[in-house]
Structure 1
Amino acid sequence: MLEVRRRGLTTLLGGTAVGWALAAHAQVPEKIPRLCFLTFDPGTLTSNRFGAFFEGLRDLGYANGQTISIDYLSVEGNGERFPALAEECLRLKADIIAVSTTPGAQAAIAATRTIPIIMIGLGDPVRTGLVGNLARPSGNITGLSLMVPEVATKRLGLLKDAIPGISQVLVLSYLADPIAPLQVKAMQEAAQPLGLTLQVHDIRTANDLPAAFDAAAREHAEALLTTSESIFVAQGQRVTELAARYKLPAMYCFSNDVVDFGGLMAYDVNYSRVIRRAASYVDRILKGAKVSDLPIEQPIKFEFSINLKAAKALGLTIPPGVLAIADKVIE
């Protein structure tokens, strides 16, 4: 009887052990993909200008902490930190990396040639050497481009059209970003036929801004234009305030909010729409698409915004022909 009981106990324990093993196996969570978002901009997943990108991911079924793990890694305005944060993406075992700046993309490519990298609206991936061509991107990077050098010359032309009498233009540029010199060169080539002289000032940190405006006053600058780097988004309000203080009519490179909070003019893509589109690249890569099969997209529509309140404060009258082509006019 005792032997029978022992066999029964052994059978019972064996069954229990198998049950525990099966239960433990059932409780192992399924691995979810990890996205590393590498950016210049300070902030968090819920506090930054990339909200449309993260909303796009959610609409595609990617909920942070449930169906995807997202690491928001910012250099906090110090571009020299990009290589270290790119290495951090590797340490975190990212399955995919999204980048919002050209220096960030360069650092990511230097860190890995295998993890897919998605560009969130970069300036010019061909001329900055990130890819060989747009139709079939080489290596492990694809995404969206903003055609920045060409758009810079368009901004300069609109600025001259809006204020025909100007001849001296202050240009703020973050020349550490490879896309900045390309914009400056394009504008310099366009400036002479327009009768304009550009006063280019390199802005590396926010602390450089007051000195640039002081120098512009001494050099008799009559208008302001910024190139398209993230620092001028992060410092957009401060640039706008300084432009107002020095009475410099300005054309801005990022239309999101800048004209609404007092900037004179902006010419840009609908940035929220562009970066929302970038979410679809993440989705397709995570579902098995190859980087080389995803052409780099460029925007086809741009928006021109004018703030007539700002124009009045500067004593400007915007020509009717310029107002007629504006997509948005704040009165």
Structure 2
Amino acid sequence: MDRLRALAEELKVKKPAVIVAGVGAVIVAAKAAPNVPVVQMQGGSPVAAGLAASLARPGGMVTGVTNVVGEVSEKYLELLFAAAPKLQRVGFLVDPVSGSYDAHMKNARRATERYRVEAQFAEAVKPEDLDPALSRLVKEGVQGLVIMPSAGMFIAERTRIVKFALAQRWPVVAGPSTFVEEGALISYSADSSALHRRAAYYVDRILKGAKPGDLPIEQPTKFELVVNLKTAKAIGLTIPQNLLFRADRVIE
């Protein structure tokens, strides 16, 4: 996060016409250069982060696209239970500095009530927080792991997180497909290529004179489900055919 702040300050000095950022960088950029339009190309809700009044009428200097919808926690649990229906205790790795932290926690608690599963939450802000957080989930006896959206640290540390989880034989569900490529069981997220194309549209509109506060923030319409069969075999799971049929991509 300190590195992001330093980069944002460098950009501010250069007086850009618009800043394009993703994940936690949007919040940092908006604070460092409050008078510069910021286009979010992926990340949580700018509304939940306090950067926009609403999706339809942002009203400030931040607009763009969000790759997270409100019920993402419920979707993660749905997919986890589709693959491993006998789970009774699930761990959630949470980033408390994520811009949508409160909304994600509320949705996660509601989802665990719906699925009648015991939930254990472990928070991590810095890389050095990960081992204690994950070790606590081991002590709590969790049988699977949901990696919640973060300000970017979880993605950067995905190899380490997934390696730890696989050592415990945990099925892991996360957002970005990069987690599944590292060995997580399932990923479910918005199509990043489509989001980036839409971000370019926003930049074009702003450079042509549009005010960011007048441009509605878009939510994703296309999602990608990826399943790692190699991981399923390694941890002793048989993925149901109906889940495989829903997958956009299967890693074997």
Same fold (TM over 0.5): yes
Cα deviations across residues 220-240 of structure 1 (Å, max 9, x unaligned)?
110001111111111111111
Cα deviations across residues 265-284 of structure 1 (Å, max 9, x unaligned)?
11111123312321222222
| SS of aligned partner of 2:146 | strand
What displacement does 1:299 show? 0.8
The residue number in structure 2 matching 1:46 is none
Contact 2:158 2:182 in 1 (8 A): no
Unaligned runs of at least 5 residues, structure 1: 1-39, 41-74
What displacement does 1:85 show? 4.5
The residue number in structure 2 matching 1:9 is none
The residue number in structure 2 matching 1:106 is 27
Which aligned pairs between 1:203-222 and structure 2 lie closer than 5 A?
Answer: 203-222=124-143
Which aligned pairs between 1:130-145 and structure 2 lie closer than 5 A?
Answer: 130-145=51-66
Q: Is structure 2 residue 47 aligned with structure 1 residue 126?
A: yes
Contact 1:113 1:139 in 2 (8 A): no
What displacement does 1:188 show? 0.7
Q: Which runs of 4+ in 1 moved over 4 A?
A: none
The residue number in structure 1 matching 2:235 is 314
The residue number in structure 1 matching 2:172 is 250
Q: Is structure 2 residue 59 aligned with structure 1 residue 151?
A: no
What displacement does 1:113 show? 4.1
Counterpart-to-counterpart distance in 2, 1:216 and 1:127:
27
| SS of aligned partner of 1:93 | coil
Counterpart-to-counterpart distance in 1, 2:159 and 2:67:
22
What displacement does 1:107 show? 3.8
Between 127-136 and 169-178, the greater mean CA deviation after superposition: 127-136
The residue number in structure 2 matching 1:269 is 190
TM-score (norm 1): 0.70
The residue number in structure 2 matching 1:94 is 16
Counterpart-to-counterpart distance in 2, 1:148 and 1:228:
11
TM-score (norm 2): 0.91
What displacement does 1:210 show? 1.9
| SS of aligned partner of 1:119 | strand
Q: Is structure 2 residue 94 aligned with structure 1 residue 173?
A: yes
Question: Please, which of 282, 290, 296 is the counterpart of residue 203 of structure 2?
Answer: 282
Counterpart-to-counterpart distance in 1, 2:7 and 2:182:
33
Contact 1:100 1:122 in 2 (8 A): yes
Counterpart-to-counterpart distance in 2, 1:205 and 1:288:
39
Contact 1:267 1:305 in 2 (8 A): yes
Contact 1:191 1:197 in 2 (8 A): yes
Counterpart-to-counterpart distance in 2, 1:309 and 1:198:
27
The residue number in structure 2 matching 1:53 is none
What displacement does 1:166 show? 0.3
Contact 2:59 2:214 in 1 (8 A): no
Identity of aligned pairs, percent? 37
What displacement does 1:217 show? 1.7
Q: Is structure 2 residue 81 aligned with structure 1 residue 160?
A: yes
Contact 1:213 1:246 in 2 (8 A): no
Specify whether residues 302 and 134 from structure 1 end up closer, same or farther in structure 2 by C-alpha distance, changes over 3 A only. same
Cα deviations across residues 229-262 of structure 1 (Å, max 9, x unaligned)?
111111111111111111111001111x322332
Q: Is structure 2 residue 160 aligned with structure 1 residue 234?
A: no
